Amino acid sequence: MSLIKVQKLSLGYGNHTVVKDLSFTVDSEDFICIVGANGSGKSTLAKGILGLLKPQSGKVIFDNLKATAIGYMPQEHKIIPNFPASVLEITLSGFLNQLHFRPYYTAKQKARAKHNLALLHIEDLANENFSDLSGGQRQKVLLARALCATTKLLILDEPSNNLDHQSKQELYELALRLNRQHHIAVLMITHDLDHHNLIGDKILALSNGQKYFFGPTAAYVKKIHSDTEHHHA
Amino acid sequence: MLSLLTEMLSYTFIQRALVVGIIVSICAALMGVIMVLRRSSMIGDGLSHVAFGAFAVATVLGLTPIYFAIPVSILTSFFILRLSQNSKIHGDSAIALFSASALAIGIMAISVTKGVNVDINAYLFGSILSINPRDLIISVILGLAVLAFFLIFYHHIFAITFDESFAKSIGLKVDLYRGILAVMCSIIVVLGMKLLGSLLISSLIIFPCLTSMQLFKNFRQVVIASATVSVLCFILGLVASYVFSTPTGATIVIANLGAFLACWLLAKIK
Percent of chain B with pLDDT over 70: 96
Instruction: Provide, as residue numbers in chain B, all residues whose Cβ is less than 8 Å from the Cβ of A103.
Output: 151-155
Q: In percent, how much of chain A has pLDDT > 70?
A: 95
CA dist., res. B194 & res. B129, Å (int): 9
Residues A72, B166: C-beta atoms closer than 8 Å? yes
User: Is B168 part of the contact surface with chain A (CB cutoff 8 Å)?
Assistant: yes
Question: Is residue A48 over pLDDT 90?
Answer: yes
**Tell me, what amino acid is at B260?**
F
The pLDDT of residue B211:
97
- Contact present, B252 and B55 (Cβ < 8 Å): no
Beta strands A70-73 and A210-216 are unpaired
Partner residue facing B213 (CB), from A50, A84, A145: A84
Chain A's closest residue to B158, CA to CA, is: A93
Q: In the predicted model, is pLDDT for residue A26 greater than 80? A: yes
ipTM score here? 0.89
Tell me if B46 sits within 8 A of B80, measured CB to CB. yes
Mutate to test the interface with B, among A93, A130, A189 (most CBs of B within 10 A): A93
β-strand pairing of A70-73 with A153-157: parallel
How do residues B29-61 score in pLDDT, each as one tens digit? 999 999 999 888 888 889 999 999 998 899 888
* Domain residue spans of chain A: 1-69+152-233, 79-149
B163 at A interface, C-beta within 8 A: yes
- Average pLDDT of B133-148? 92
Kindly state the DSSP code that residue A28 receives in the 8-state scheme: T
Question: Which site among B158, B166, B263 would you substitute to test the A interface, given the most A Cβ atoms closer than 10 Å to its Cβ?
Answer: B166
Chain B contact set for A51 (CB, 8 A): 168-169
Q: Which residues of A touch B151 (CB under 8 A)?
A: 103
CATH 3.40.1010.20 is right for the domain spanning A1-69+152-233: no
CA distance A211 to chain B (A): 24
Put simply, the answer to whether B166 touches A52 (Cβ < 8 Å) is no
Q: Average pLDDT, whole number, for chain B?
A: 90
Exposure letters A176-199 (e unless 16+ CB within 10 A, then b) = eebbeeeebbbbbbbebeeeeebb
Provide the pLDDT for residue B95.
85
Helices marked H in A76-198 — which ranges?
87-92, 107-119, 135-149, 165-180
Mean predicted lDDT score pLDDT of chain A = 89
Please indicate if any CB of chain A lies within 8 Å of the CB of B166.
yes
Share of chain B above pLDDT 90, in %: 60
Distance from the A146 Cα atom to the nearest Cα atom in chain B, whole angstroms: 9
The pLDDT of residue A39 is 85
Region at B62 (left for phi over 0; alpha for psi -120 to 50; beta for the rest): left
B167 close contact with A: CB closer than 8 A: yes
CA–centroid distance for B180 within its chain: 15
pLDDT band at B195; cut points 50, 70, 90: confident
Question: A159 and A171 in contact (C-beta within 8 Å)?
Answer: yes
| Phi–psi pair at B154, nearest 5 degrees | -55, -50
Residues of A contacting chain B (CB within 8 angstroms): 50-52, 67-70, 72, 74, 78-80, 83-86, 89-90, 92-94, 96-97, 99, 101, 103-105, 127, 129, 131-132, 145-146, 149
- Which helix (H) or strand (E) element contains residue B155? helix B154-162
Q: Average pLDDT in the B231-250 region?
A: 94
Between CA A200 and CA A219 the distance in angstroms is: 12
The answer to whether B107 and B129 are in contact (CB under 8 A) is no
Q: Which of B37, B156, B213 sits opposite A96 (nearest CB)?
A: B156
Determine the residue type at B228.
T
Q: Inter-chain contact B169–A105, Cβ cutoff 8 Å? A: no
Taking an 8 Å cut-off on Cβ atoms, the answer to whether B155 and A83 are in contact is: no
Query: What tens digit of pLDDT does each residue of A110-169 get?
Result: 999 999 999 999 999 999 999 999 888 999 999 999 999 999 999 999 888 778 888 888
CB-based contact, B222 to chain A, within 8 Å: yes
Residues of B in contact with A90 (CB under 8 A): 162
B217 shares contact with chain A (CB less than 8 Å): yes
| pLDDT tens digits along A59-68 | 999 988 888 8
- The per-residue DSSP string of A178-198 comes to HHHTT--EEEEEE----GGG-
Cβ atoms of B28 and B192 closer than 8 Å: yes
Instruction: Show the domains of chain B with their CATH numbers.
Output: 2-265 (1.10.3470.10)
